[in-house]
Amino acid sequence: MPAQAADVTQPRLENADGEPHNWLLPFQNYGSHRYSRLTQINKSNVGNLKVAFTLPVVTALVGRTANDLQNHLLVDDGFGYFDDGAGMFYKVDLRTGKKATILWKADAALPKDINARSRGITMMGNAIYHNLRDGRVVAVNRDTGEFIWDKQIARVPNAKAQTDVGLDKETFTATAIPVEGRLIVGNSGGDAGSRGWVASVDAATGAERWRFYVIPGPGEPGHETWKDTAGAWKTGGGGMWTMGSYDVAARTTIWGTGQPQPMHDPEARPGDNLYSNSAIALDIDTGKLKWFFQYTANESWDYDEQGVHLLFDIPIGGQMRKVVGHYARNGYYYNLDRTNGQFINHGQYVDVVNWTKGLDPKTGKPLEYNPALTVQTYIPETRTLRGDTADKPACPHRLGGVRWQPMAYNPTKRIAYSAGWDGCFTYEIEPTRYLAGGGLDRAGPGGMFGIKNQKNYDVHGLIAAVDVITGQAVARHRQPYGNAAGVLATAGGLVFSATLDGAVTAHDDETLAEVWRFETGIYIKAAPTSYAINGKQFIAVFAGSPAPGGATWPELAQMTTGGALYVFAL
């Protein structure tokens, strides 16, 4: 095996499925399948899975109280690449199968007042790339660890994400898509009152090629759906905090967009609020919008739809269809036509959905949606508006169902898998306040979320499996705590995940019954990946995040805050 891996060329990225021993793309392939074709670890022997080695990843803790590893291990011919959530990049030698030897570390010097959080790096050519929380995008040589370029792409520098007071404005948490010499990145700062956008960055120079704003400005199509007179569109949200997918044949990138702002106060932003809570398809050469589908117009439960959009071709109604599959936060799984965004079918995957009686089978819109209304009513008993003090339980919970958690797709069984939160909640509105120049006043009465007196009901975790041809759920696995990790599916008949209370788990890919568990003792918010060295299969996952708990699960409040890469093998 050579001392250096070959360049990650465009043909290799497009044919990532043909290199199951590697993990070249953050979500495994451009369709975001996260499916390993390796079979050495399977249903018959997963009970023998053991820790092969671990590697501490704690550099983000220097000067901080916690890190937040939501990332993945990229693997190319025996070498691994990852980041620590705070701008430190690693290259490790995995070739012995017995340890990860650090070959170099490169520090992008993320300011210490920005909390460590990352959903991972990407690679192309002979470089790794990362879009950082302070709005920079950087390129690092894979062989030497030297920085190639460092550019400020988000237009408000030094975003102080997760501070109690200050302007978040624009920031990055979603991983970039590497494609044909460019990086497709998305502004993740929608919750903080910025306008979401997707941009193309030249991989050789860091120069920005184009930018598409999710919240349209005056004179742009869709601006008419912001009907207030106070300029709510200027702080309208619609951020992207999960990486999009890429349709190679159509030269189209498909992203999910976040909720409108303020997130729980639809009366502050009357109208459908395009293109929030939508799937958007953009031309990678120009950034022009090809089509969109809005899941929930004028939404108010924090059901943003920035999560993963799976791409696959399947037979529906007797013909092969190019499909986008999406586990929506509003409780439904959707199939959309990938060529035009038209609705195909759907199914419910959470236990309870009560904010609507269902979806129109032709349009995919909620049955109560009324285009003549500027503030939608949906089911009033679940729709909290200004002045409401009586509890109006809404299901699913505002943290459910599936948010950023990576999904998976088994192309042989044609099943899509996801993991997330389930349950219900109530709240009262406490309007948010914006500061001069943009950004939320987090010290104001409404804080970031604009609610108070939130109550939670039967909040728990779930792993779900959906038959993508029918859109119907075929299995669900209930977990005691919300699942923040996501899933990996394998040709060995398994689905791997991890839990808030620190377990790495394996499940039967048809029943979702748990068949193996390993306790790390560290809070996990990262999805597993798989690779092979000399024919031996490994499962890898990062553990480490701020300790969970609070009022929902106080028993988790004392968990260990740390950081480590765990790698398992037979």
For the stretch 466-477, what's the b/e string if a residue is b when 16 or more beta carbons lie within 10 angstroms of its beta carbon? bbbbebeebbbb
CB 278 within 8 A of CB 202: no
Asked if pLDDT for residue 547 goes beyond 90, the answer is: no
State mean pLDDT over 517-535. 97
Question: Which band of pLDDT confidence, cut at 50, 70 and 90, is reported for residue 437?
Answer: low
State mean pLDDT over 453-480. 97
Asked if pLDDT for residue 162 goes beyond 60, the answer is: no
Query: What is the CB neighbour count within 10 angstroms for residue 291?
Result: 18
State mean pLDDT over 244-253. 99
pLDDT of res. 193: 79
Strand-pairing partners, residue 141, are: 127
When comparing pLDDT for 168 and 457, which is higher?
Answer: 457
Asked if pLDDT for residue 292 goes beyond 50, the answer is: yes
Strand-pairing partners, residue 464, are: 418, 476
State mean pLDDT over 80-105. 97
Asked if pLDDT for residue 159 goes beyond 50, the answer is: no
CA angle 485, 49, 69 (to 5 degrees): 25
Average pLDDT of the residues of the chain? 93
**Mean pLDDT highest for which of 3-17, 63-77, 500-514?**
500-514
pLDDT of res. 3: 63
pLDDT of res. 104: 98
Question: Which band of pLDDT confidence, cut at 50, 70 and 90, is reported for residue 148?
Answer: very high
User: First-to-last CA distance in the chain?
Assistant: 22
pLDDT of res. 62: 82
**What is the length of the chain?**
570
Asked if pLDDT for residue 225 goes beyond 80, the answer is: yes
State mean pLDDT over 103-109. 96
Asked if pLDDT for residue 466 goes beyond 80, the answer is: yes
C-alpha distances in angstroms, 131 versus 68, 134, 241, 307, 562? Answer: 16, 9, 11, 18, 23
State mean pLDDT over 323-331. 98
Asked if pLDDT for residue 161 goes beyond 50, the answer is: no
% the chain with pLDDT above 70: 95
Question: Which band of pLDDT confidence, cut at 50, 70 and 90, is reported for residue 563?
Answer: very high
How would you write 372-422 as a 3-class SS string? CCCCCCCCHHHCCCCCCCCCCCECCCCCCECCCCCCEEECCCCEEEEEEEE
Asked if pLDDT for residue 396 goes beyond 80, the answer is: yes
pLDDT of res. 160: 44
Tell me the per-residue pLDDT of 473-508, one tens digit each, with 9 for 90 and over: 999 999 999 999 999 999 999 999 999 999 999 999
Question: Which band of pLDDT confidence, cut at 50, 70 and 90, is reported for residue 435?
Answer: low
CA–CA dist 321, 249 (Å, integer): 14
List of residues 6+ apart from 390 with CB closer than 8 A: none
Q: What domains are defined for the chain?
A: 10-569 (2.140.10.10)
List of residues 6+ apart from 392 with CB closer than 8 A: 381, 382, 383, 384, 426
Tell me the per-residue pLDDT of 8-63, one tens digit each, with 9 for 90 and over: 999 999 999 999 999 999 999 999 999 999 999 999 999 999 999 999 999 888 88
List of residues 6+ apart from 564 with CB closer than 8 A: 54, 55, 56, 57, 58, 520, 522, 542, 543, 544
